[in-house]
Amino acid sequence: MACRGGAGNGHRASATLSRVSPGSLYTCRTRTHNICMVSDFFYPNMGGVESHIYQLSQCLIERGHKVIIVTHAYGNRKGIRYLTSGLKVYYLPLKVMYNQSTATTLFHSLPLLRYIFVRERVTIIHS
């Protein structure tokens, strides 16, 4: 992740670099974010997308960010569930149209999504 500072734009940089390991790696130390991952595919079904979303979420949590996942309900798995490291998953009662896809019903659930975004104080949405 590259740090974008104020060099040349009249603003002071808000990020500081700190050493990660004895090597030459550095990381950005900025404020933490509340990140929402929105996906049609997630646990309990496991595959490439599900694994990627889960692992990315765990890495972001390790960096100090708060991560929630929003997906559709799977069978009796509805409501809010907590996974490892405080990962919060919202299983929404959305109608699945084709092959676990809910894109066409997503527009009907915008008020519910807005409620979650406001409640969780989401600053970044990954969809």
Mean pLDDT of 109-122: 91
Residue 27 in this model has a pLDDT that exceeds 50: yes
The model's pLDDT over 28-86, given as tens digits with 9 standing for 90+, comes to 567 889 999 988 888 877 778 888 899 999 999 999 999 999 988 887 888 899 988 88
Domains and CATH numbers, the chain: 1-30 (no CATH), 31-126 (3.40.50.2000)
Please tell me the pTM assigned to this model.
Answer: 0.69
**Which pLDDT belongs to residue 30?**
72
Residue type at 92? L
Residue 123 in this model has a pLDDT that exceeds 70: yes
